[in-house]
């Protein structure tokens, strides 16, 4: 192992101290998995910009600090604080986590139809660990990804959602992760596991937020396994504190005929990276969309990998960014079309709006096509607000701030409008509007 200049060794030491107390520590398969994960992490160290996938995102601000495990709090967050982050007019099955730990007192799971299991990961490891072994020990569970390995070593809690064959969950499941960001910098490693058996359907909302300011790190992993003809809609809102770090990996496996639809609104965090990896079976539909809105010195990274492994699948990606001040946006979109994936139809689009001369964005489409009978398109556009449109609005009496705001809202709203549910669209528009109001303060 090469000498590390970052704090990765500190996490390795901390693991040795903590492993006997981690969730499910009595389970040999899990203990073994955690050991392999920390070894993997020790070998990899934190990624640096020399690694291609991390070329545009510098983690040194994160890796200079050693974050302690986030404390389990018995109180400190109220139901009112929870309410602030819920969509209006959209009752859900709500699981609340504070500093990464499930809080049953704040949650409101409500009545679940037969065939649906929804609970905390720690609880599931205590009560039905056999359901999780296959999911956690899946091939490629560790990949070459250091934050993912660290999550696997330290994961303490998260959500488990299992849908039996044919079950359609009417209300969305909302996973709300709140961080209190207390004095000592703390890290939570939420691990969410979603299994949608054949022909089941659900909508999952994942929200990361902080009721108050604070410096902390969220290192989340969400694994979604979709069996044949299953359908999952996934909306994520990343609204962490402005001093927080947020690294998140969502891994989706889509079996034949399934449909996955994701929308990510990323507005919080000092540095945030949302990574989505989707492996597509035959005849599936995968739609990824999202917005990232950044100002100040925020760094927001969206990195996706769509792997067309089997024939006749459709994928569409459309992300938009709005960057003000000295903010930095990153979009990396890789599409692989394997030799077996004939009749693939894959599209990618990334548009960015730069509101200041010092804001900047790195956008990198990457297509790797190994099949010949495919349709594949990609596009990227980055520019300032349309001067002609701005003049038109001002010529009707709107001041520059309001005219700009309308145009930014329009740019963001156009893509939010692609989300299906009215209440979710309204929720996402409110998230964007809250960000915009701060711009014009």
Query: Is 393 near other proteins (CB under 8 A)?
Result: yes
Binding segment for other proteins (CB under 8 A), chosen from 24-32, 103-111, 331-339, 410-418, is 410-418
Q: Which of 256, 343, 364, 394 is in the footprint of other proteins by CB under 8 A? A: 394
Cβ neighbours, 10 Å, residue 64: 10
391 binds other proteins (CB under 8 A): yes
- Judged by CB under 8 A, the stretch of 85-93, 209-217, 399-407, 430-438 that binds other proteins is 399-407
* Strands (DSSP E) found in 121-230: 159-163, 173-178, 186-188, 191-196, 201-209, 216-226
| Angle formed at CA 56 by CA 4 and CA 318, multiple of 5 degrees | 135
Paired tokens of 268: 């919080």
Is residue 383 a contact residue for other proteins (CB under 8 A)? no
Nearer to other proteins, 134 or 391 (CB): 391
> Nearest approach, Cβ of 406 to other proteins (angstroms)?
5
CA distances from 384 to 38, 119, 320 (A): 45, 45, 13
Q: Which of 28, 83, 383, 397 binds other proteins (CB under 8 A)?
A: 397
Q: Which of 304, 309, 310, 271 is nearest to 290 (CA)?
A: 304
Pick from 43, 213, 410, 434: which binds other proteins (CB under 8 A)?
Answer: 410
Q: What is the dihedral of CA 336, 337, 338, 339, to 10 degrees?
A: -150
Number of residues that bind other proteins (CB under 8 A): 23
Q: Shortest approach of other proteins to residue 392 CB, angstroms?
A: 4
399 binds other proteins (CB under 8 A): yes
Shortest Å, Cβ 231 to other proteins: 28
- Which is closer to other proteins, CB of 221 or CB of 408? 408
H or E stretch at 40: helix 28-44
To other proteins, the closest distance from the beta carbon of 385 in angstroms equals 11
Binding status of residue 21 toward other proteins by CB under 8 A:
no
Pick the closer one to other proteins by CB: 105 or 414.
414
For the bound state, the minimum distance from the C-beta of residue 398 to other proteins, rounded and expressed in Å, comes to 6
Applying CB under 8 A, among 35, 340, 414, 420 the residue interacting with other proteins is: 414
Q: What is the DSSP letter of 173?
A: E
- Both tokens assigned to 355: 């509101």
By CB under 8 A, residue 406 contacts other proteins: yes
User: Considering only 46-54, 287-295, 350-358, 389-397, which stretch makes contact with other proteins by CB under 8 A?
Assistant: 389-397
Residue 375: phi and psi, rounded to 5, are -115, 130
For residue 116, CA distances in Å to 93, 193, 196, 421, 439 come to 11, 13, 10, 22, 42
SS3 content of the chain, % helix, strand, coil (to 5): 25, 35, 40
**Region binding other proteins by CB under 8 A among candidate stretches 219-227, 242-250, 262-270, 394-402:** 394-402
Q: Which residue in 338, 334, 330 sits closest to 378, CA to CA?
A: 334
Based on the shown chain and the rule CB under 8 A, indicate whether residue 89 belongs to the binding site for other proteins.
Answer: no
Q: Write the Ramachandran bin of 388: left for phi over 0, alpha for psi from -120 to 50, otherwise beta.
A: alpha
CA nearest neighbour of 310 among 279, 336, 341: 341
Q: What is the DSSP letter of 27?
A: -
Under the criterion CB under 8 A, does residue 428 sit at the interface with other proteins?
no
Region of 154-162, 234-242, 271-279, 411-419 interacting with other proteins (CB under 8 A): 411-419
- Between 340 and 414, CB nearer to other proteins: 414
- Residue ranges that bind other proteins, judged by CB under 8 A: 386-389, 391-400, 402-403, 406-407, 409-411, 413-414
């Amino acid at each position: 192992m090469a000498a590390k200049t970052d704090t990765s060794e500190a996490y390795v030491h901390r693991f040795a101290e903590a492993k006997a107390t981690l969730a499910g520590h009595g389970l040999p398969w899990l203990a073994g998995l955690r050991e392999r994960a920390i070894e993997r992490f020790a070998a990899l160290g934190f990624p640096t910009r020399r690694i291609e996938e991390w070329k545009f995102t510098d983690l040194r601000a994160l890796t200079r600090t050693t974050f302690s495990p986030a404390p389990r709090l018995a109180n400190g967050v109220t139901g009112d604080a929870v309410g602030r982050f819920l969509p209006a007019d959209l009752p859900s099955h709500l699981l609340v986590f504070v500093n990464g730990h499930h809080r049953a007192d704040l949650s409101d799971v409500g009545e679940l139809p037969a065939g649906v299991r929804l609970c905390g990961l720690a609880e599931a490891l205590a009560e039905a660990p056999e359901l999780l072994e296959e999911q956690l020990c899946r091939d490629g569970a560790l990949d070459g990804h250091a934050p993912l390995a660290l999550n696997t070593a330290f994961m303490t809690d998260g959500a488990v959602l299992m849908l039996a064959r044919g079950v359609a969950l009417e209300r969305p499941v909302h996973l709300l992760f709140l961080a209190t960001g207390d004095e000592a910098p703390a890290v939570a490693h939420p691990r969410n596991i979603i299994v949608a058996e054949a022909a089941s359907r659900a909508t999952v909302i994942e929200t990361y937020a902080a009721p108050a300011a604070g410096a902390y790190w969220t290192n989340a992993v969400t694994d979604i396994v979709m069996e044949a003809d299953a359908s999952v809609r996934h909306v994520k809102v990343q609204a962490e504190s402005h001093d927080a770090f947020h690294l998140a990996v969502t891994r989706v496996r889509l079996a034949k005929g399934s449909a996955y639809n994701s929308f990510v609104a990323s507005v919080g965090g000092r540095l945030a990276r949302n990574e989505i990896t989707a492996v597509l079976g035959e005849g599936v539909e995968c739609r990824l969309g999202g917005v990232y809105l950044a100002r100040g010195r925020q760094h927001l990274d969206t990195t996706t990998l769509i792997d067309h492994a089997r024939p006749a699948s459709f994928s569409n990606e459309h992300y938009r960014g709005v960057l003000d001040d000295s903010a930095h946006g990153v979009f990396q979109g890789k599409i692989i079309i394997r030799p077996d994936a004939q009749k693939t139809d894959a599209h990618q689009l990334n548009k960015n709006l730069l509101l200041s001369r010092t804001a900047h964005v790195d956008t990198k489409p990457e297509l790797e096509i190994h099949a010949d009978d495919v349709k594949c398109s990609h596009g990227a556009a980055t520019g300032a607000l349309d001067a002609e449109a701005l003049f038109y609005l001002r010529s009707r009496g709107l001041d520059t701030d309001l005219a700009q705001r309308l145009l930014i809202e329009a740019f963001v709203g156009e893509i939010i409008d692609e989300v299906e549910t009215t209440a979710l669209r309204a929720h996402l528009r409110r998230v964007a509007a809250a960000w915009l109001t701060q711009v014009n303060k």
